[in-house]
Amino acid sequence: MTTDRLAETPAMRSLDERIALAQRCRDCDDIPKVLGAGTVHADADGTPIQLMHNGLRVLAGGYYGDWMTRLITLCRGHHEPQEERLFHEVLGVLPPDATMIELGGFWAYYTAWFLQHAPGRRAIVLEPDPAHRAIGETNLALNGLDAAFMAGFAGAGDGPPAPFATEASGTILLPCFGVDGLLAMHGIDRLDLLHCDTQGAEFDVLTGACDLFRAGRVGWVFASTHVHHISGDPLTHLRCLALLQECGAVIEAEHNPYESYSGDGLIVARFGPAPAGWRPVPISIARQSEALFREPVFDLAAAFAQRRAAVPGLPDRVVSGLFDTLLFRPADPAGLAFFTDQLNQSGDVGALVRSILQSPEFQAREPQFAAAYFGGGGTPIRGAMTRTGVRLVLDRDGPLGRAGQTLLVPDDRVILPALLAAGGWNTQHLAMLADRIDPARIYTLIDIGANIGLFARQVLQTFGNVAACHCIEPDPGNFDALRYNLADYPGVQMHPFGLGAADGTARFFRDRENCGNHSVHADAMRDRPFT
């Protein structure tokens, strides 16, 4: 395969490759197997039956068809070697009267295995697809076992019937069940084993069960996690892992979907002390390059390609402008390629600016930079905002100054885009002032919360009879920009503090997206990203 064809790598391997992948895992080699494990024979009525490693009889082809039957045959009665190894070990430490819930039961194999040889155990199987549920019920009947089968889908909590897209039976109306609701419905105070394979809903299910976990009402969790093509979130596995740990779980084993010899990720979590006789169980980890689903970097590359195609040439122009502004030189080909690639990957202009500001070249040019910003060889800039600011050059006369003059502006998501789009800041205020200012009088402007000085600069630029200006700004980064932006205007005094009812100190909230929205009032930060 050439590098040009890498992007054509399919999202999932073929079924033959899937079978070969499972065969490469040797985790179940030393689990005892019945004679003829994996073989298929016809029952008395002609129904094809497959023998699993533990002697359980299941409908051949009932679980995803002939290819899975072939896989089970080649793996001598196993279908998910990593998970089955762990399930085998956990079954050995469960009490004879243990309880289990299997969410997303399908063929109910894990439920049948759980019930096998332990007549005192209870199991509940929740399965939304009626075709799949029928296969699970048949498999239990083939082995003389019984469980409570329920029609519905799993979620964070109980809910009324809603349309649900099943794999084999179309979209049907089904109720939603949370783990706590199932326990209450079946009179179970403590659940020994929760098995969750809900095709992408696993994080919601586990979130809804957090109170049960913290209260010690669940012993073990087997959670299958799914790739983002299924779950809609590339962080599903990590979110589930972190959630279980936050609830007090000991993670006995885990692998993500790209480390699986089957296709799903897996988390095996234990709550409470380890049972007598329990020992950690090592499992194999597949290489990402051989997993069922292609490595996630392919999807990342596709996303970057889409971003580049959306605005062709924009990253190059941004990087070139930053070189001109911060390093006072055109971008060299190597630097342009490096920083453009960084911008394509992150989409974060602020991170790019910080990278340049932290570079050895900028450190060497910092005196030149300070002189250009402050004039006359001013002190190097150390403020939080100006270290990530952008120097804008006015290309025409306007309310902020004459063509060729400069502004120091934060690389935020509000002020910088507004200035680039409009060439001014809230200029409607100037029209309001023009109706009220008497040309024959002399005025003093007091700007409380002056931010980076845009309002004051527009007033001073527009009205020649504003003879004095006091700007009050508590944020150090904003104050540095304020000092730069008003340096050419006489009669301006700047004060680096806030105003309040009395002298003292106060907690200060900084809006991460809008540097004009900092405040000492927490309410002003409601629903805002702040530090």
pLDDT digits (tens, 9 = 90+) for 228-238: 989 989 999 99
> Mind listing the pLDDT tens digit for each residue in 202-243?
999 999 999 999 999 999 999 999 999 899 899 999 999 999
The pLDDT value recorded for residue 101 is: 99
User: Is the pLDDT reported for residue 265 higher than 90?
Assistant: yes
* Token representation of residue 182: 């199932």
Burial of 250 from C-beta contacts in 10 A (0-12 / 13-18 / 19+): middle
pLDDT at 253 over 50: yes
- Give residue 18's identity as a one-letter amino acid code: R
**Could you tell me which residues are beta bridge partners of residue 509?**
519
Task: Based on DSSP, count helices (H) and strands (E) in the chain, helices before strands.
Answer: 19, 18
Mean of pLDDT values over 263-278: 96
Structure tokens at 383: 């403020």
Between 509 and 317, name the one with better pLDDT: 317
Where would I find the H helices in 271-392?
296-310, 314-322, 333-346, 349-357, 360-374
Angle of helix 333-346 relative to helix 314-322, nearest 10 degrees?
120
For residue 422, report the phi and psi dihedrals to the nearest 5 degrees.
-110, -20
Q: Is-contact 203 230, C-beta < 8 A?
A: no
pLDDT digit string, tens, across residues 325-372: 788 888 887 777 777 777 777 777 777 787 788 777 788 887 777 777
- The pLDDT value recorded for residue 91 is 97
Strands (E), 306-451: 389-393, 406-410, 443-448
- The CATH number that domain 80-298 falls under is 3.40.50.150
For residue 529, the model assigns a pLDDT of 53
CA dihedral 249, 252, 258, 262 (to 10 degrees): -120
Give residue-wise pLDDT tens across range 285-312: 999 888 899 888 888 777 777 665 555 5
Classified as helix, coil or strand, 165 is strand
- What does the alpha-carbon distance between residue 3 and residue 1 come to, in Å, rounded to a whole number? 7
What does the mean pLDDT of the chain come to?
87
Q: How far is CA 358 from CA 259, 362, 507, in A?
A: 37, 7, 29
Judged against a pLDDT cut of 50, whether residue 112 lies above it is answered with: yes
The DSSP H or E segment spanning 125 is strand 122-127
CATH topology for 381-525 is Rossmann fold (3.40.50)
CA distance 133 to 174: 13
Q: Where are the alpha helices (DSSP H) in 164-295?
A: 179-185, 202-208, 210-214, 228-231, 236-246
The pLDDT assigned to 378 comes to: 42
pLDDT confidence band for 434 (50 / 70 / 90): confident
- Tens-place pLDDT, residues 455-496: 999 999 999 899 899 999 998 888 888 898 999 898 899 998
